[in-house]
């Protein structure tokens, strides 16, 4: 999606549910276990709810119930589709974390943590509310 097709914040406020807007555009966190993608639903590609960019594959989805303590309840991935996300340091709420955003529209997706139990050593803790699954 190029900038000319990117919805304005006002358009997004109308299109998205308030809780979706709060997480995607205001860097919030959804309540754990509150949305549909906590567990793998089907094979396919997970897309950004704001711009539709592909972000994750179901092949890289982990079992969120077996995530490290404190990270359970949100969709978990061990990697993103290359080039689809960006990261930056997040020092909010008295913590130091790595925020992950959509590279296309800049929407907040969640955070990345070190996790030696995954094949990549990384744990992408993603807000389910940020994603749409396109089933294969």
Known catalytic membership, residue 125 = yes
Is residue 42 within 8 A of residue 58, CB to CB? The reply is yes
Length of the chain: 136
CB neighbours of residue 86 within 10 Å: 14
Which phi and psi (to 5°) does residue 125 adopt? Answer: -95, 105
> Which one from 48, 102, 105, 125 is the annotated catalytic residue?
125
102: which 2 tokens? Answer: 């959509």
Report the C-alpha gap between 7 and 42 in whole angstroms.
29
Report the C-alpha gap between 131 and 116 in whole angstroms.
25
Residues acting as catalytic residues: 125
């Amino acid at each position: 999606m190029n900038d000319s097709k990117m919805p304005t914040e006002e358009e997004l406020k109308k299109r998205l549910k308030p809780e979706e807007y709060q997480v995607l555009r205001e860097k919030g966190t959804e309540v754990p276990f509150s949305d549909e993608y906590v567990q793998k639903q089907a094979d396919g590609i997970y897309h950004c709810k704001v711009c539709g960019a592909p972000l994750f594959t179901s092949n890289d989805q982990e079992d969120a119930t077996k995530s490290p303590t404190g990270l359970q309840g949100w969709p978990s991935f061990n990697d993103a589709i290359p080039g689809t996300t960006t990261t930056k340091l997040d020092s909010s709420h008295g913590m130091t974390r790595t925020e992950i955003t959509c590279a296309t529209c800049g929407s907040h997706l969640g955070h990345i943590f070190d996790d030696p139990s995954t094949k990549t050593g990384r744990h992408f803790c993603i807000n389910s509310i940020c994603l749409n699954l396109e089933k294969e």
